């Protein structure tokens, strides 16, 4: 992984709040609920809620972009 993430071509993190994705192809569905803190490498944390369990956790923005959208 590069030491710095070029976010110029990525969607705005705020535009993902309220959307739903899945952890990988077969993982549980989660809802993106908030933008979190910036990380030193240029990435940032997003707050997500796992639908199955209701658990809330921080998840990296770049990992979210790699997860499939849930309809």
Residue pLDDT, tens place only, 53-70: 999 999 999 999 999 999
> Which residues touch 43 (CB under 8 Å, ≥6 apart)?
5, 60, 61, 62
> What is the predicted pLDDT for the residue at 59?
97
**CATH code assigned at 21:** 2.30.30
Classify residue 45: in a domain, yes or no.
yes
Q: Which band of pLDDT confidence, cut at 50, 70 and 90, is reported for residue 10? A: confident
Q: Which residue range forms the structural domain that includes residue 53?
A: 13-66
Count the neighbouring beta carbons within 10 Å of the beta carbon of residue 9.
Answer: 5
Distance CA 16, CA 46 (A): 9
Q: Please state the pTM of the whole predicted model.
A: 0.83
Give me the percent of the chain exceeding a pLDDT of 90: 80
Distance CA 24, CA 2 (A): 22
Classify residue 49: in a domain, yes or no.
yes
């Amino acid at each position: 992984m590069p030491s710095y993430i070029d976010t110029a071509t990525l969607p705005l993190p705020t535009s993902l709040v309220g959307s739903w994705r899945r952890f990988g192809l077969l993982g549980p569905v989660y809802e993106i609920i908030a933008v979190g803190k910036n990380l030193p490498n240029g990435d940032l944390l997003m707050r997500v809620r796992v639908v199955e369990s209701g658990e809330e956790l921080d998840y990296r923005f770049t990992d979210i972009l790699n997860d499939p959208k849930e309809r």
